[in-house]
Chains A and B, each alone.
Chain A
Amino acid sequence: MRKSIATLLFSFFMTSLVSAQLERKRANPDGPVAETFLTKNIAGLGTVQLLGKGDLNSMIQHNFGDVRGGIETFFGVDEGANVRIAFGYGLTDDLNIGIGRTSREDNIDFSIDYRILHQTKLDRIPVSVVLKGNTGIRTQKESFGLTFQERLNYLGSVMIARKFSDNFSFQVSPMVSHFNTVVKTKPDSELYNTVYGLGFAGRFKINERKSISFEYLPVIGDKITDTKNHAALVYELETGGHVFQMFFMSGRWFTEQHLLTRTETDFFEPNFRFGFNVNRVFGLL
């Protein structure tokens, strides 16, 4: 009987101890997923990854001539770089703005990204959706014969992405580009002011600091003569404050409207160029 009493008392004692301690619960188990992609861009294709409120991202993007030049051109490096310097800023967690300048055609572009859906951990929202707009203007002297309007180019894109697991994310981005002016380089060129595309992007995370990513941007419908579908294969490395992206890409540009309409090398031929991006985020708040 004494044993029973002892057991009973012990049970009550244990129960009272357990009940005294709160059950540990996650604060927001169905919160938004983090880091679908590592940065706002892969090589040239935009991603649903936005900057947080108050974050400033500075980005330098480079690529060189195509590797088919061989050792004569040091696999394209001697052919000179196309460089885009860009800054992005998070006005809110869901609204980013940006400005960039590309050395080709001295194209200055302004961008805006607005997130309308953010994937959640328990799939209440299964995908992230970001609307992207970009407007560029050629500012090199050679274009001064054109009016301001004639020098403008545009991009509209809907980026739809899902982080399938900690290690794999995938994005589809239908997009449309428009150039107010297109120029014939050959007498029989077929030109289109408006070109449609469907971007694909993926990220395979190797560990917390490294990943392999890709982008592929086929043109849908009318395609400008002699242009190819852009593609890139990217190695991403995050270090203290910087994200480095080293890649082989077929396109020469870093703005999607130009990747759709100016890519002249075929990644799968194979023919591509080496390039790299350097990203650095500063917290301004």
Chain B
Amino acid sequence: MKKIIFTTVLCLFISSLGHSQSFKTEEGKATFYSKVPLHSFEGNSENLVGFIDLDEKTVDFYIDLETLDTGNGKRDKDMKLTLETKKYPFAEFFGKLVSDFDPESSAIQDVTVRGTFKIHGVEKEIEVEGTLQMKDNGLHVTAGWILSLLDYKIEPPQILFIKVDKEQEIKIDALLKPVDG
């Protein structure tokens, strides 16, 4: 029995070491688009943090919402108040790659991930379409989906500076570097 335990522990230890197929970034780009006639704007952040483990097929992304910049200080303030960033500082996704991906190919491949997206303290199961491309210097990720503000109990106050589209398009674009392991 001791032998079995030893073997199990050893296997788990070795498997935990073998993260050669892991990729990470702290400089990914996230953009949201709010499209209302005469009031369209976009917000950007280049502080998207992401981690993908191709062995485990896990996909983990989060962003500090206070890094979003819409190019207007007043609008940024209203956005942060609406998202209650002091209370809920992050938007985050954790899920699994549910489609096939060939890491040996350098072609752009369509992929699907499924998991939990959390913002404003509300979690929802979502499925996101995107692309993965293995490059010499890392793994390039793009993805986009529509976020419905009401699904996450994000309700802009009536007296806001900005008029806000209730359906916001989210896009991410990041080059994840291999993680030594």
A interface footprint on B59-101 (CB within 8 Å = 1, 0 otherwise): 0101010110011111111000100000001101010000000
Q: Write out the residue numbers on chain B whose beta carbons fall within 8 Å of the beta carbon of A20.
A: 51, 53, 56, 58, 60
Q: Contact: B67 with A27, CB < 8 Å?
A: yes
Binds B, one of A4-12, A78-86, A169-177: A4-12
The answer to whether B8 and A8 have CB atoms under 8 Å apart is: yes
Residue A28 at the B interface, CB < 8 A?
Answer: yes
Stretch of A51-59, A124-132, A154-162, A180-188 with 4 or more beta carbons under 8 angstroms from chain B = A51-59
Contact residues on B (Cβ < 8 Å of other chain), bracket: 35 or more
Rounded to whole angstroms, the CA-CA distance of A4 and B8 in the bound complex is 12
Whether A16 and B9, one on each chain, are in contact in the complex, defined by CB atoms closer than 8 angstroms, is no
Interface presence of B107 (CB below 8 A):
no
Known A21-B60, A28-B64; judge A52-B72 contact (CB<8 A). yes
Q: Which of B4, B67, B71, B89 has the most CB of A within 10 A?
A: B71
CB of A122 closer than 8 Å to a CB of B: no
Q: By CB atoms of chain B within 10 A, which of A16, A54, A208, A240 has the most?
A: A240
- Residues in B whose Cβ lies below 8 Å from that of A9: 8, 12
Q: Which residue of A lies closest to B24 (CB)?
A: A22
A239 within 8 A of B: yes
> Is A35 part of the binding interface, using a Cβ–Cβ cutoff of 8 Å?
yes
Q: Which residue of A lies closest to B9 (CB)?
A: A8
Contact, CB under 8 Å: A5 / B94: no
Question: Does A95 sit within 8 A of B, measured CB to CB?
Answer: no
**Contact call B72/A54, Cβ cutoff below 8 A:** yes
Expressed in whole angstroms, the minimum distance between the Cβ of A278 and any Cβ of chain B is: 14
- When the two chains form their complex, are residues A208 and B56 in contact, meaning their CB atoms are under 8 A apart? no
Is B137 located at the chain interface by the 8 A CB criterion? no
- Residues on B with C-beta less than 8 A from A28 are 47, 64, 66-67
Question: Contact: A26 with B89, CB < 8 Å?
Answer: yes
Most buried by B among A4, A5, A35, A283: A283
Range for the number of chain A residues in contact with chain B: 20 to 34
Taking CB atoms and an 8 Å cut-off, the chain A residues in 1-45 that contact chain B are 1, 4-5, 8-9, 12, 15-16, 19-22, 24-28, 31, 34-35
The chain A residue sitting closest to B61, CB to CB, is A22
The chain B residue with its CB closest to the CB of A54 is B71
A24 close to B90 (CB less than 8 A) = yes
Chain B CB within 8 A of A116 CB: no
List which B19-50 residues lie within 8 A (CB) of chain A: 24, 47, 49
Q: Is B150 an interface residue (CB 8 A)?
A: no
Report the minimal beta-carbon distance from B17 to chain A, rounded to whole angstroms.
12
Residue on A nearest B158 in the bound complex, by CB: A240
Q: Which of B47, B51, B72 contacts A27 (CB 8 A)?
A: B47
Q: How far is the CA of A114 from the CA of B90 in the complex (A)?
A: 32
Enumerate chain B residues within 8 angstroms of A12, measured Cβ to Cβ: 9, 12, 16
Residues of B within 8 A of A4 (CB): 5
Q: How far is the CB of A184 from chain B (nearest CB, A)?
A: 46
Q: Could you tell me the distance between the alpha carbons of A50 and B27 in the complex, rounded to whole angstroms?
A: 28
A70 contacts chain B at the CB level, 8 A cutoff: no
Q: When the two chains form the complex, which single residue of B1, B71, B94 contacts A1, counting CB atoms closer than 8 Å?
A: B1
Q: Which of B47, B89, B160 lies in contact with A240, CB distance below 8 A? A: B160
Q: With contacts A16-B16, A22-B60, A239-B159 known, is A285 near B72, CB below 8 A?
A: yes
Query: 3 shortest A-B CB distances, which residue pairs?
Result: A283-B72, A52-B73, A27-B64
Can you sample 28 A-B contacts with CB below 8 Å?
A: A8-B8, A9-B8, A12-B16, A19-B16, A20-B56, A20-B58, A20-B60, A21-B58, A22-B49, A24-B62, A25-B49, A26-B89, A27-B47, A28-B66, A31-B66, A35-B77, A52-B73, A52-B76, A54-B71, A55-B73, A90-B73, A208-B81, A240-B161, A241-B74, A281-B161, A283-B70, A283-B74, A283-B75
Given contacts A55-B72, A208-B81, A239-B159, 20 further A-B contacts (CB under 8 A): A4-B5, A5-B5, A15-B16, A19-B16, A20-B51, A20-B60, A21-B60, A22-B51, A22-B62, A24-B62, A24-B90, A26-B64, A28-B66, A54-B71, A54-B72, A55-B73, A90-B73, A240-B160, A281-B73, A283-B74
